[in-house]
Amino acid sequence: MRAIALACLPFAALVLSFAGASAAPQFPKGASALEATLIAKQTADGRAFILDEAQQEASGRFLSEEMPRNAARKFGASGSEVSEMAFLVLMQAARDSDANVSELVTGVQSADASRQDERQQSMQSDGIAGSQQAQLSTSQRVAEQAQGSTFISLLPSKEGSDPIASALTPSATPVPATTMNLQDAMDRESQIEDLLNQAMRRVTQPG
């Protein structure tokens, strides 16, 4: 189970390890060949169901061994078909969860790069401002300080808009909440891989 080993690494090391890792999830031996055999038996509706259910299980809040099996029963599967469809769902869910991790890693790296750029720009701007300030005479600095900050009128404009009311009015477009962070995505990927091993055993060793 990868989650146990990964939990011991610092967050930055986790990002670097996934950045250099292969994008392919860790399938059980023979899983890809079994998937190819089973997917050939599915109808177009069955394949669409597998893709949809896999996406939900890769990004949903809860996941258990029975979830893909119950979903397969609701779709109309029975007998050995339940185990087969559950296996196919988890195979695709493993790919989807791996893609989620890769996407979040890329986002973390991009955010970190942006912060570094901002720090460099800030340092450069501070240096330029300091140089310019050093060139000002004492009288110029006093005059600059006396000007104070530019103020914004709080009176209603000619069009009748009220800046105070506008500032207090909540935005019509809510900020979307983050549904899954990187650690959650990695935990979900590891959980799906464990469930996939169990699902494959159900298909290859029916009891």
The reported pLDDT for the residue numbered 154 is 56
- Over residues 167-173, the mean pLDDT reads 59
The reported pLDDT for the residue numbered 21 is 40
pLDDT over 60 at 16, yes or no: no
For the ranges 1-5, 62-66, 87-91, 121-125, the one whose mean pLDDT is highest: 87-91
70 inside domain: yes
What is the total count of domains within the chain? Answer: 1
150 inside domain: no
The reported pLDDT for the residue numbered 39 is 96
Q: Which two tokens stand for residue 94?
A: 């493993």
Do 64 and 179 meet the contact criterion of CB atoms below 8 Å apart? Answer: no
25 inside domain: no
**Start-to-end C-alpha separation, the chain:** 25
pLDDT over 80 at 138, yes or no: no
The reported pLDDT for the residue numbered 197 is 95
100 inside domain: yes
Q: Which two tokens stand for residue 51?
A: 């893709």
Cα–Cα distances (Å) from 84 to 16, 46, 188, 204, in that order, read 36, 11, 21, 10
- Over residues 20-34, the mean pLDDT reads 78
21 inside domain: no
175 inside domain: no
pLDDT over 90 at 200, yes or no: yes
- Over residues 195-200, the mean pLDDT reads 95
pLDDT over 90 at 204, yes or no: yes
Q: Could you list the residue range(s) of the whole structural domain that residue 99 is in?
A: 1-15+30-127+182-207
d(CA 198, CA 51): 20
- Over residues 28-50, the mean pLDDT reads 96
Residues in the chain: 207
161 inside domain: no
- Over residues 159-184, the mean pLDDT reads 62
The mean predicted confidence, pLDDT, of the chain is 76
110 inside domain: yes
In sequence order, what are the residues at sequence separation of 6 or more whose Cβ sits closer than 8 angstroms to the Cβ of residue 69? Answer: 82, 83, 86
- pLDDT for 71-130, tens place per residue? 999 999 999 999 999 999 999 999 999 998 988 888 666 555 566 666 767 777 666 666
The reported pLDDT for the residue numbered 141 is 60
